Chain A
Amino acid sequence: MAKQLAFHFDSSVCNGCKACVIACKSKNALPVDVNYRHVYEYGGGGWVADPLDPAFIQPNNIFVYSLSIACMHCENPACVDVCPAKAIEKRDDGIVVVDSDKCIGCHYCSWACPYGAPQFDPDEGTMQKCDMCADVVDEGGKPYCVAACPMRALDFGELEELRAQYGTANEVAPLPPADITNPSFVMTPHRHAQPVGSKVGRVYDDEV
């Protein structure tokens, strides 16, 4: 099997602090509105009269968890197939990269990607996305987001090794089903994680 680098994400310890997002911004000199990594909050539940003392209300299955998501460097990257300029390719180590010199900024990749990874940079007029800090990885280092995480929720490495260490989970709500693109992604679900496709909760959109 071809070598494939991948991210591991431990949702059980992610507190949504976005140190990864800002580490990525700094490494890649990104302006506002361009983010290679996003952190989403997913949750639900409500309030009901306490069955043991109806004079009081109590939480009813209130749950929440965070997901830190960047490019999944998929086995079947949807972005590569739709790019009319053939600007996106998968390296030998599985990292999916955009060649800015070829990119025409048509947005097709961003529309095709179920994870919303490709970002349009209005200044450059091109699509950009997480390249797993390929320059750092090539020198033997770790992606900035992984090295940044104060909760130690992010890891990276060979996909098969990550699976051996952390298991094979790669989808929870509200992520898309993994069989669309086969993401190079391993996750440790939060104790309240809902199955992919679940409608129990909602994304608490930060873009209020």
Chain B
Amino acid sequence: MSTNSFLAKTMSDVLLNRRSFLKWSSALSSTAVLSGGLHNISENMPLTPAAKAAESAGEWVTAACWHNCGGQRCVIKAHVVDGVVKKVKTDDTHDDSTEQPQIRGCARGRSQQQQCFGADRLKYPMKRKNWEPGGGKKELRGQDEWVRISWDEALDYIAGEFKRIIEQYGNEGILETGSTLGSLITMLGGADKLWGSTSWGTWLYTGPIIGLGDGLSLTSHNDRLEMQNSDLVVMWGGNSAWSSQGNNMHYYIEAKKAGVKFICIDPYYNDTHMILADEWIPIRPATDHALALGIAYTLLDEDDPENGPLIDWDFLDRCTVGFDADHMPEDADPKKNFKDYVLGTYDDTPKTPEWASEICGVAPYKIRQLARTIGSTPKVSLLTAWSVARVNNADTWPQMFMTLGAMTGNIGKPGCCTGVSCWERTADGGPFLISAGGSGAPRASNDNAISVSINNNEAWSAVLDGKYVAGYDDVRDINIQMIVHDSGHALNQKVGMTKGIEAHRKVEFVLSLNLFLNTNSKYADIVLPITTQWERYGFLKGNRDHLIWARQVTEPLFEAKDDDWVARELATRLDVDPDVVDPMPLKQQVFNQLAGATVIKDNGVDFEPLLTISADDIAAMEVEGEPQEGRITLAEFKENGVYTVSRKKGDKLGYIAHQAFRDDPEANPLKSATGKLEIYSEANAEMVKGHGFNEIDAIPTYMDPIEGYKDTFEDWDNKVKGEYPLQMFTIHYRRRSHSIFDNIPWLREAFPQELIMNPVDAEPLGLKHGDTALVTSRHGKVIRPVFLTERIMPGVVSLGEGAWAEVEEDTGIDKAGATNTLNGAIPTGQGHQGWNSLNVKIERYGGPDARERDYKWSQRIPIKEA
């Protein structure tokens, strides 16, 4: 390469360059509603490096990073001068060490100044120009002009529509997709709610039923220091470097430095593997279950208890049900056991590595090698991520994964575990060592409220077709005429967005409370500007080893208001007691969480209060409470913003998942129906049947996923490819926490929302690196620049989930590449969303603006002011 290839790119046509930032800033200071603190924003923006010296004034405030990224729950400190955040840093409250790591934030958390102070913040309530009570020109949603209205107008309209819709259609006429107006809506008689697993795939419901855990409420993997005692980590799916940023990935690195080997199974040699992988086993998306069965077959086939044991028969005997005919529940057919299924005793299909390889693409000899490695290595952490379970028909995948761990005995022993290492618990399982207390705010309840629950996959078809599945053999009618987006990003983040937009154009009223004109708001009739957490009193958030007290950074910007204020104002207009929907000042709630915070003692058993709080502290906070003694003072916690529990190897704060159960399963039964790990789980099969979409076996049998590998073929037996020949899996993308931050200029520049594709697949299509591809699925189409890399398996493409859809009205093409434009709503099993089973075709796209990077697009500023 040329030594000058690093030269800066052309500097033209910058969207949010410093000049426009300043222009916006001066617009800010001329906006009448602003509090005094912001008037100096333009003068305070540093213009030259020399001018940066003038930064001595101001205060470092521990600021919230409240997003559901799946990261560490990190420390972000904002340098605040006159109510404006000038710059951001991370945890520097103590020296960094393995025992007490600094809780360092990621690119996303550090970009929040462009979120809170974004030029595209919603500034005041708005209504769609052609909306009127009853709907107006409903087809114009998403393309209509916006008109500024006062808060009183907005609240009166909204209260009027609540009344009208409830009178005309009943409470079933309202679909509430979020939660921040939940108390109000409960007191009004309730609304239709959505149910179903999202990120967790099938782990959310199946994980606890089979006794293993789900990676969320019950962790199934060991803590970060115990992981260092493993000989081998098998990382089956997952990409902590992109999804769970902050320290989680660092904990894996510490394990690697301690000598742990990593085998990574994934369609993509991702940035986590770049650092960790000793071996990468490429696998087609949505075929993991087949590979696992091939491993199970090999373990059975090659196990030699005397000379080369691969299976822990003692563990299977004592701790599981359903492995073989001798270990079945009393009322079950003994023939329906797992072992005979794997061996093909009754179905004439042994699940050999050869059988598996045709589906998963891993050569049979490699499957055998993998089985031998897992079976013969003394201490293995078998870790997976929820991604593998975000597949249509994957309802027994958690059972399958657990069964591999049970067969090889990698559960409940030092250095051994089998489970989900994901989200904020990535690489660090176990109960919290430090936690905030409860807020003390009572929840509104109403015995007369309706209880209608619609599966996420049917949210939009329920609106369009007027029907939804309520359970086994139970299809019900429904007439939804009002959609309330009170938090969340349902339209963008649930499968089947094309139908979602259609649904939004059918109902009579759509309300959105938000920070931005995101997809929910874009297709709404009235939008309300809501404050960020930086504009509120604060809150507590942490992870296993630490607790953060995030404080207010600035006063509410523009006319933005808290959700609770909106609920209170609507309550007064709807004859609901405002103190029921907004029962306690946030400040008091935060105080209660502080006072109730507890931290574990060194003995690993007892907890003590975290904080010493004096009568003066209580008076200064202007709250009600009692003085108390704790480990550190309130002042110290406020100053540092974070308290971190110190860990060291051999301390009493470690965690080995299911250790007590393994040692004595009768005395320490799991929360499954049988108290054991359920390889045969009638309860799981019943749960799935009860949801009414389809039925499954009680053991983890392989089901072809809808839109899996086989569906890329028109003729599977002769291997003739069909109309949608490629598999796509969606990925948690670095730019965003789900859809949050998609609009942040710095992050758009850093992470371009590219289609990841192998050159082998691109070349025949005439696609070169950086060209724009048209991606078409059975459900929608998007365009995106292609990022050609050998790191992704041929036949597979990937795109980050969460981009804010930019649908062109004339072509239906989504320019932003929102994956839910491509993912259709396919309800299966337990009603999870099968994002990683998806077939697409790809073509070269030469349309207008094809090569323009999205950070150069105009921001979504609904009303441009002179």
Taking Cβ atoms with an 8 Å cutoff, the residues of A that contact B are 12-19, 21-23, 25-29, 31-35, 38, 40, 43-47, 50, 52-53, 55-59, 62, 64-66, 69, 98, 100-101, 110-111, 114-116, 118-124, 126, 128, 131, 135, 144, 147-152, 173-174, 176, 180, 190, 199, 202-208
Contact of A43 among B14, B88, B790, B855 (CB under 8 A): B790
The B interface is mostly helix, strand or loop, or mixed, namely loop
**CB pair B363 A55 closer than 8 Å:** yes
Contact of B241 among A16, A115, A147 (CB under 8 A): A16
**CB pair A148 B90 closer than 8 Å:** yes
Question: What are the residues of chain B within 8 A of A98 when measuring CB–CB?
Answer: 49
**CB pair A120 B11 closer than 8 Å:** yes
- Measured CA separation A101–B49 after assembly (Å): 10
**CB pair A31 B9 closer than 8 Å:** no
**CB pair A207 B9 closer than 8 Å:** yes
**CB pair B104 A33 closer than 8 Å:** no
CB distance from A160 to the nearest CB of B (A): 23
Stretch at the interface among B268-276, B446-454, B611-619, B652-660: B268-276
Question: What are the residues of chain A within 8 A of B357 when measuring CB–CB?
Answer: 56
Chain B 730-765, CB within 8 Å of chain A: the 1/0 string? 000010000000000111111110100010100000
**CB pair B750 A123 closer than 8 Å:** no
Say yes or no: is B105 at the interface (Cβ < 8 Å to chain A). Answer: yes
- Measured CA separation A35–B16 after assembly (Å): 14
Question: What are the residues of chain B within 8 A of A122 when measuring CB–CB?
Answer: 11-12, 14, 17
**CB pair B245 A46 closer than 8 Å:** no
**Residue contacts A-B, CB under 8 angstroms, 25 given:** A12-B275, A14-B275, A19-B245, A22-B746, A31-B16, A31-B17, A32-B855, A34-B11, A35-B8, A47-B794, A53-B364, A59-B280, A101-B50, A114-B3, A114-B6, A115-B6, A121-B11, A121-B18, A135-B53, A144-B89, A150-B250, A151-B249, A174-B5, A205-B769, A207-B853
Contact of B786 among A144, A148, A207, A208 (CB under 8 A): A208
Question: What are the residues of chain B within 8 A of A149 when measuring CB–CB?
Answer: 104
Known: A21-B750, A116-B4, A204-B787. A56 touches B363 (CB 8 A): yes
Stretch at the interface among B40-48, B463-471, B498-506: B40-48
State the interface size on chain B (CB cutoff 8 A). Answer: 82
**CB pair B105 A19 closer than 8 Å:** yes
Known: A17-B107, A21-B750, A180-B3. A43 touches B791 (CB 8 A): yes
- Measured CA separation A128–B49 after assembly (Å): 8
- Measured CA separation A43–B752 after assembly (Å): 19
Say yes or no: is B52 at the interface (Cβ < 8 Å to chain A). Answer: yes
**CB pair A56 B361 closer than 8 Å:** yes
Contact of B17 among A12, A32, A111, A128 (CB under 8 A): A32
**CB pair B1 A203 closer than 8 Å:** yes
Say yes or no: is B461 at the interface (Cβ < 8 Å to chain A). Answer: no
Contact of A124 among B47, B53, B105 (CB under 8 A): B47
Question: What are the residues of chain A within 8 A of B16 when measuring CB–CB?
Answer: 31-32
- Measured CA separation A28–B45 after assembly (Å): 10
Question: What are the residues of chain B within 8 A of A204 when measuring CB–CB?
Answer: 787, 789
**CB pair A110 B363 closer than 8 Å:** no
A-B pairs, 3 with minimum CB distance: A116-B6, A15-B241, A176-B3
Say yes or no: is B96 at the interface (Cβ < 8 Å to chain A). Answer: yes
- Measured CA separation A84–B746 after assembly (Å): 32
- Measured CA separation A121–B734 after assembly (Å): 26
Contact of B749 among A33, A43, A52, A64 (CB under 8 A): A33
- Measured CA separation A70–B275 after assembly (Å): 21
**CB pair B271 A38 closer than 8 Å:** no
Chain B 1-27, CB within 8 Å of chain A: the 1/0 string? 101111111011011111101000000
Question: What are the residues of chain B within 8 A of A27 when measuring CB–CB?
Answer: 87
CB distance from B779 to the nearest CB of A (A): 25
Known: A22-B110, A128-B49, A150-B245. A59 touches B274 (CB 8 A): no
**CB pair A18 B770 closer than 8 Å:** no
- Measured CA separation A203–B363 after assembly (Å): 31
Question: What are the residues of chain A within 8 A of B748 when measuring CB–CB?
Answer: 32
Closest to A127 in B: B8
Known: A149-B104, A204-B787. A15 touches B274 (CB 8 A): yes
**CB pair B48 A100 closer than 8 Å:** yes
| Most B Cβ at <10 Å: residue of A22, A38, A126 | A22
**CB pair A33 B17 closer than 8 Å:** yes
**CB pair A15 B7 closer than 8 Å:** no
| Most B Cβ at <10 Å: residue of A40, A150, A205 | A150
Closest to A61 in B: B790
**CB pair B752 A64 closer than 8 Å:** no
**CB pair B7 A116 closer than 8 Å:** yes
- Measured CA separation A171–B818 after assembly (Å): 40
Question: What are the residues of chain A within 8 A of B269 when measuring CB–CB?
Answer: 59, 62, 64
Question: What are the residues of chain B within 8 A of A64 when measuring CB–CB?
Answer: 269, 274, 791
- Measured CA separation A137–B14 after assembly (Å): 31
Known: A31-B14, A114-B4, A120-B8. A47 touches B760 (CB 8 A): yes
- Measured CA separation A147–B769 after assembly (Å): 34
**CB pair B104 A208 closer than 8 Å:** no
CB distance from A104 to the nearest CB of B (A): 14
- Measured CA separation A189–B535 after assembly (Å): 44
**CB pair B19 A123 closer than 8 Å:** yes
**CB pair B4 A26 closer than 8 Å:** no
Say yes or no: is B415 at the interface (Cβ < 8 Å to chain A). Answer: no
**CB pair B105 A116 closer than 8 Å:** no
**CB pair B249 A150 closer than 8 Å:** yes
Q: Given A17-B106, A43-B789, 5 other A-B contacts at CB below 8 A?
A: A16-B271, A31-B21, A32-B16, A124-B47, A149-B104
- Measured CA separation A23–B90 after assembly (Å): 9
- Measured CA separation A40–B786 after assembly (Å): 17
CB distance from B428 to the nearest CB of A (A): 14
Query: From residue 71 to 100 of chain B, which have CB atoms closer than 8 A to chain A?
Result: 86-90, 92, 96
Closest to A16 in B: B271
**CB pair A17 B734 closer than 8 Å:** yes
**CB pair A110 B5 closer than 8 Å:** no
CB distance from A170 to the nearest CB of B (A): 15
- Measured CA separation A18–B108 after assembly (Å): 9
Contact of A150 among B52, B104, B770, B855 (CB under 8 A): B104
- Measured CA separation A62–B790 after assembly (Å): 7
Say yes or no: is B633 at the interface (Cβ < 8 Å to chain A). Answer: no
Chain B 228-268, CB within 8 Å of chain A: the 1/0 string? 00000000000001000111011001000000000000000
Question: What are the residues of chain B within 8 A of A123 when measuring CB–CB?
Answer: 17-19
Query: From residue 205 to 232 of chain B, which have CB atoms closer than 8 A to chain A?
Result: none
Closest to B247 in A: A150
CB distance from A102 to the nearest CB of B (A): 11
Contact of B104 among A18, A19, A101, A207 (CB under 8 A): A19
CB distance from A61 to the nearest CB of B (A): 9
- Measured CA separation A208–B282 after assembly (Å): 25
Question: What are the residues of chain A within 8 A of B271 when measuring CB–CB?
Answer: 15-17, 66
| Most B Cβ at <10 Å: residue of A15, A43, A58, A66 | A15
CB distance from A38 to the nearest CB of B (A): 7
**CB pair A131 B14 closer than 8 Å:** no
Closest to B745 in A: A32
Question: What are the residues of chain A within 8 A of B52 when measuring CB–CB?
Answer: 28-29, 135
**CB pair A29 B86 closer than 8 Å:** yes
**CB pair A22 B790 closer than 8 Å:** no
Closest to A29 in B: B46
Question: What are the residues of chain B within 8 A of A15 when measuring CB–CB?
Answer: 241, 249, 271-272, 274-275
Query: From residue 89 to 142 of chain B, which have CB atoms closer than 8 A to chain A?
Result: 89-90, 92, 96, 104-107, 110-111, 113
**CB pair B6 A59 closer than 8 Å:** no
- Measured CA separation A102–B815 after assembly (Å): 44
Contact of B113 among A26, A28, A44, A152 (CB under 8 A): A26
Question: What are the residues of chain A within 8 A of B169 when measuring CB–CB?
Answer: none
Say yes or no: is B285 at the interface (Cβ < 8 Å to chain A). Answer: no
- Measured CA separation A98–B49 after assembly (Å): 9
- Measured CA separation A122–B19 after assembly (Å): 9
Question: What are the residues of chain A within 8 A of B791 when measuring CB–CB?
Answer: 43, 62, 64
CB distance from A9 to the nearest CB of B (A): 14
Say yes or no: is B362 at the interface (Cβ < 8 Å to chain A). Answer: yes
